[in-house]
Structure 1
Amino acid sequence: MNRTLIVAASCLLTWAWAGHAQSDKKLSDARTALEKWVETRQLISKTRADWQADKETIQQTIVMLERELKGVEEQFTRLSTNNVQADKERLEAEALLKSSDDGIAPAQQFASEFEGQIRAVLPRLPDPLKDSLKPLLARLPAEGATNTQMKATERVQVLLGLLNEMDKFNNAVNVFSEKQKNDQGGEVSVETVYVGLGAAYFVNDAGDFAGTGSPGATGWEWINQPKLANHVREVIRIYRNERPAKFVSLPAVIK
């Protein structure tokens, strides 16, 4: 009986110990499994977070690249447009240059011929006017020059300037101090009244030397006429507002 109880107790103890050992193993396995699960969840969370960050970076990069690509495409479009515009402007410039070349020869020819006409009338101009024209005349090409760097437009502008000065002189009464030769060949200081480009009258301060002048083929021609002295002096006084305006009779030479 006692032996039986001992054996039974031994069996119970063995079973209890075996059950306890098996329970510890299950607990350990459960703990290990839980740790694995937590680790896996953490890895999944980290992977998801890393992916989200990478996704945002990639998306930002894509947006940036798309913006740069759009900018490059716009530059190509502008370049293409500019090239078309440049080609158009080049063709227009070439056409304008050709028309300018076609028109420059007649313009140069006109300027050359007109310069010749101006030079032809220079001797017939009053000396004071010729003196005032010297700066403009100096800008013209040398007489007979066939190869000049001066543009046709510049030559025409000079010619217009010359004509303008001549026209102003011709439409006014001008008084200048000059020298005239008397009958003995001596020079006398006189004041000369130019009435336009066609007539002139001179007188000295003493009023005993006077005369008239008119343009000739090689220069102005002067004739001494002392009897005109008072009339010429009266004209000069009126010119200087020393006398009221009135009619003064003076001879004129028509050529």
Structure 2
Amino acid sequence: MNTLIVGGTGTTGSRLAKLLPDARVGTRKPVRDGHVRFDWDVPATFDSALEGVGRVYLIPPVGVADPAPVVESFLARARQVRRVVLLSSSAVPEGATGMGALPALVRTMPEWAVLRPSWFMQNFTGDHPVAAGVRDGEIVTGTGDGRVGFVDAADIAAVAARALTDPLPHNTDHLITGPEALSYADAAAILTEVTGKPVRHRSVSTEEMTERFAVGLPREFAAVLARLDEDIRGGAEDRVTTTVEDVTGRPARSFREFLS
């Protein structure tokens, strides 16, 4: 079965594409062989991207309050698709609307898996606000002493690859974490040790975090992000699973290994 990687140039999709070099990469701006135009905002791109495809790695549209209608429309057109692997999040609860409605849609497919990774280690690099804090020497969050099982996006991609290609469908949710739960203060200490550049963590209130996120973001969305920090502070992400090793046969990468 041919595979379509929706969002194939993104954080997990690009890593998955390296593991599945024969897969079709769906992207808004195709730039090389194997790429095909796919844009959630342009449903006319769906059919050509799905032509001859039997498996899909599905990254839902980003920044959409309720992506369920467009995802449902996409799946309705995926008549030849047998297996769908959805990238969700450990922070997204099941629900009737919004991101929480997507797992139920995917479970209607003949074969499926829902990936629920914890927060990415890649948030500490690149363009993420946490990465900006790393560069400035101070990470600001509303997480308090709450801990997170940060996970490497490469490990998420490895689980996705198996979920897409294993002979037997997984037909389950995979809660994916790294091998240890760390507070942001713990992560800052490891960053300081590995890089030699002092980094500290400063925790602020949910209200202040909302104001910080609201610089450049709609206030409603900023409040949602701030509440996710509040959930971490309350212990919602303080857990570790063995999913990476159970599925791939090798242990998940630690934060220290990721930085080295």
More strand per residue: 1 or 2?
A: 2
Question: How does the TM-score come out when normalised to structure 2?
Answer: 0.23
Higher relative contact order (CA 8 A, sep 6+): 2
